[in-house]
Amino acid sequence: MFIDIQAFFETTPVSATFAVETIKIRPEQISTDSRAIPEGGLFIPLRGEFHDGHAYLLKSFELGAQAAFCEKQVYEANRNTYADLPLLLVENCLSAYQALARQWRRQLNIPVIGITGSSGKTSTKEILAAVLSPFLKVHKNKANFNNEIGVPKTLLEIPVDAQVAIIEMGMRGQGQITELAEIAEPNLGLITQIGTAHLSELGSQANIADAKWELAKFLEAHQGKLFAQAEDPLQRLAAQQTPQLAISWCGESEDSLVRLLSVTEYDTFQEIEYQVQAGKVHTLQLMMPGRHQVRNLLLCLGVLSALGYVLPEHTQIEPEQLFGRNQIIELPNSATLINDAYNANPESMRATLEVFGRRKAKRKIAVLGKMGELGPQSPQLHAELGKFCSQLELDYLIGLGDETQILIENAERGAFQRLWFQEHAECIQALTQLLAPGDLLLLKASRSAQLEKLIEGLTFVPESEGA
């Protein structure tokens, strides 16, 4: 199935150096990487912090491209070089890329579900995919392709037989969720939680709430529906901005579309009882720990109900396990590592540590790195997390990096040993000596803390001499 290029031209100002009637492009033939351009493909040169894709225009044609986008000012500056190339001239290649992705989304005309929130976006995406996949062919973002480049890439990767698309939407500032919503044009939306992530960019939780609620405003303007956390006061307050929006609250409150009745928590899964629209009591198992994940699940069950489906009783919901997100790794010395170090903020830290503190193990060792993007409030929030840790049932609490020193200092009332290291190498050395069979080790931090270096050190098995 080809992209309707004529429809794309109607929404995006384009001039061409060739007869555009000859161009036929399937979405899988579009690439922003000249090295991966397929035969007969369309190359879209994007500008990055360190590179400009226009530098690879000529190379893309050598590798088999049939056409390429080019920004008009670049073409004018290189007219002699580019004169004979089949180019689609646009003002901005990124904007054109986004418009092309939107055109493909419109052609497919399937439900698109947007997900945003301060934390839990990726987990919720995976839970929602697991909830919907028994009924529908699901397409979703790979990894964390959730920004102004990743979202159009995700849309262009939707296969023609997909029945629903799940689009995670990240943001770093005001207006970015609006931009992503205008690209993906979601029919339904989920907001997981409004917390303190991105304080450094937005300054306050109120500003964060406004930025996340941009998804709700888009849905209101396009007759969509939002699924929101019933117990999140910031979402309740933000709802006043969108009085015409259909909002389905999900949680424990009486006005919840999907209402939680009970949760029985185990180390690696949870048994849940819930109702939809105060109807029959349903039971299922969520094969991941944490009450916060139950709240995310309720949003997903709301979407399932809106699409007209009901899970069979005692269904096991087992989301795909992703690297750095509650990932279980068995270490060579028979200790178990939980890698949850892809991202962190005060809310996700507390939720993860609370679950970890209740786990059963010979010894429990938590290694925490910094929480990024907290701005001037970072020392205070790290200190508060340290005080929170004091009440946890741990054997060791270990901080890694400058930002965690104040965290460890403020955990002085905890009934566990406290250690702090500035460098990864010394932390690896200490853990290698400390860990024993039956121990449970948690790694939790923002991605910038690079705790994956600890995994590399702890899983390295030197080859025996002479091998």
Of 116, 215, 98, 101, residue with least CA distance to 155: 101
β-partners of residue 259 are: 251, 275
Q: What is the pLDDT of residue 130?
A: 98
Of 373, 371, 208, 231, residue with least CA distance to 296: 231
Ranges for all domains in the chain classified under CATH 3.40.1190.10: 110-317
Q: What is the pLDDT of residues 327-362, one digit of tens each?
A: 999 999 999 999 999 889 999 999 999 999 999 999
- Architecture per CATH, domain 110-317, reads as 3-Layer(aba) Sandwich (3.40)
Q: What CATH number is given for 5-92 in this structure?
A: 3.40.1390.10
Q: Taking the CA atoms of the chain, what radius of gyration do you get in angstroms?
A: 25
Q: What is the pLDDT of residue 380?
A: 97
Ranges for all domains in the chain classified under CATH 3.40.1390.10: 5-92
Q: In whole angstroms, what separates CA 367 from the centre of its chain?
A: 23
Q: What is the pLDDT of residue 50?
A: 87
Q: What's the chain's average pLDDT?
A: 94
pLDDT at 240 over 90: yes
Q: What is the pLDDT of residue 467?
A: 41
pLDDT band at 147 (very low <50, low <70, confident <90, very high): very high
Q: What is the pLDDT of residues 150-161, one digit of tens each?
A: 999 999 999 999
Q: What is the pLDDT of residue 325?
A: 83
Total H helices, total E strands in the chain: 18, 21
Q: Helix, strand or coil for residue 245?
A: coil
Q: What is the pLDDT of residues 94-126, one digit of tens each?
A: 999 999 999 999 999 999 999 999 888 999 999
Q: What residue numbers does the annotated binding site cover?
A: 117-123
Cβ atoms of residues 224 and 215 within 8 Å: no
Tally the C-alpha atoms within 13 A of residue 195's C-alpha that lie toward its C-beta: 22
Q: What is the pLDDT of residue 442?
A: 98
**Whole-angstrom Cα distance, residue 29 to residue 66?**
10
Q: What is the pLDDT of residues 27-85, one digit of tens each?
A: 999 999 999 999 999 999 999 888 899 999 999 999 999 999 999 999 999 999 998 99
Cβ atoms of residues 147 and 95 within 8 Å: no
pLDDT band at 373 (very low <50, low <70, confident <90, very high): confident
pLDDT at 324 over 90: no
β-partners of residue 68 are: 43, 87
Per-residue tokens: 466: 């002479």
Q: What residue numbers does the annotated binding site for ATP cover?
A: 117-123
Q: What is 327-459's CATH number, 3.30.70.980, 3.90.190.20, 3.40.462.10, 1.10.287.110? A: 3.90.190.20
**Whole-angstrom Cα distance, residue 228 to residue 193?**
8
For range 181-200, the mean pLDDT? 91
User: Which secondary-structure segment (H or E) carries 439?
Assistant: none
pLDDT at 146 over 70: yes
Ranges for all domains in the chain classified under CATH 3.90.190.20: 327-459
For range 302-321, the mean pLDDT? 95
pLDDT band at 197 (very low <50, low <70, confident <90, very high): confident
